[in-house]
Amino acid sequence: MKSQQKKQFIAALKSKVSTKVDVVELANQLLSGNTIALSKAITLVESNKREDSLLAAELMRIILPHSGKSKRIGISGVPGAGKSTFIEALGMSLIKSNLKVAVLAVDPSSEVGKGSILGDKTRMEQLSANANAFIRPSAASGTLGGVARKTREAIYCCEAAGYDVVLIETVGVGQSETAVNSMVDFFLLIAISGAGDELQGIKRGIMEMVHAVVINKADGENIHKAKLAKTEVKRALHFYPQFASGWSPETLVCSALENTGIGEVWTLIETYFEKFDGYIHQNRKSQAKWWLKESIEEEVIAQFYLNKAIEKELPIIEKDVVEMKLSVSEALLKLMTLNK
């Protein structure tokens, strides 16, 4: 941006700065690792208000150069697989290695007040009480694209605040995994052993993007079953195409409850980061490009529907199309004329 343009942009922003949020001060606090500031920053990023989005843009401008340094790990799994227990165990083990851990959630289906997958912090008792952990229940609402964009910027906030590992939990419904996959470096699927049908309930599309499957609850009488499940999953993974990076997905067993096998999972993740450092760097660039495209298209469509003339005429045109009085091609010609 040219200097003059920049001045104008900042002046425009400043005129909008509410007395409640001083973005520069907020950014400074966030950069010093203050978790209250981090919380506030994410709230700002997640806000759907126009005024807040200008402030959020300014905040991102300040913190962006300080982001990008974490390992971004996506964690998915069917309900009951023990995702929270796993995150608690992995998180605590990372903290013991002097790492700072942030946990975010992508859950576009959740609505504020209706609770969300990470809403119940008591499921991560130790982690939520630890000063080196930051847990952020999913509060953003809106379209998947919008929620995901905000989650991406929440990741940048966590990174700028000094978190070394960002774990992004997702609900396991398919769509949100695709979104999460395009913002993380490594994607982990938590599964449990069942009646020979370990992958039931896991959408095929998800299997294609996981870097590793961890069979959880390998404890007590379940150990043998978990090992069998591992063999089954390994065989299933064999049928999926190899990653562009050359990585072949791995299968591990663990018990988050008894804290066994967690170290092995982390070792595997570290191996990936060491081995594919250059690939990860490139992949993040592709992800950024993809997100820009997705966001642009979502926004362009949203603005089209907000156009007053369109808002007025669309129901009439739609009715005519449904009743076969108007072809889609002609409807398009009309709508595009209205949109000019």
Binding positions for a second copy, rule: CB under 8 A = 45, 53-54, 56-57, 60-61, 64-65, 67-68, 149, 152-153, 156, 204, 285, 288-289, 291-292, 295-297, 299-301, 303-304, 317-318, 321-333, 335-336, 339
Considering the complex, state which of residue 20 and residue 204 has its C-beta at the smaller distance from a second copy. Answer: 204
Q: Assess contact for 136 and 275: CB atoms under 8 A.
A: no
Cβ at position 266, least distance to a second copy in Å? 26
Radius of gyration of the chain (CA): 23
Q: Three-state secondary structure along the chain? A: CCHHHHHHHHHHHHHHCCCCCCHHHHHHHHHCCCHHHHHHHHHHHHCCCHHHHHHHHHHHHHHHHHCCCCEEEEEEECCCCCHHHHHHHHHHHHHHCCCCEEEEEECCCCCCCCCCCCCCHHHHHHHHHCCCEEECCCCCCCCHHHHHHHHHHHHHHHHHCCCCEEEEEECCCCHHHHHHHCCCCEEEEEEECCCCCCCCCCCHHHHCCCCEEEEECCCHHHHHHHHHHHHHHHHHHCCCCCCCCCCCCEEEECECCCCECHHHHHHHHHHHHHHCHHHHHHHHHHHHHHHHHHHHHHHHHHHHHHCHHHHHHHHHHHHHHHCCCCCHHHHHHHHHHHCC
Considering the complex, state which of residue 61 and residue 123 has its C-beta at the smaller distance from a second copy. Answer: 61
Considering the complex, state which of residue 63 and residue 117 has its C-beta at the smaller distance from a second copy. Answer: 63
Considering the complex, state which of residue 98 and residue 329 has its C-beta at the smaller distance from a second copy. Answer: 329
Cβ at position 253, least distance to a second copy in Å? 27
Considering the complex, state which of residue 130 and residue 295 has its C-beta at the smaller distance from a second copy. Answer: 295
Considering the complex, state which of residue 99 and residue 310 has its C-beta at the smaller distance from a second copy. Answer: 310
Cβ at position 309, least distance to a second copy in Å? 13
Cβ at position 293, least distance to a second copy in Å? 9
Considering the complex, state which of residue 39 and residue 67 has its C-beta at the smaller distance from a second copy. Answer: 67
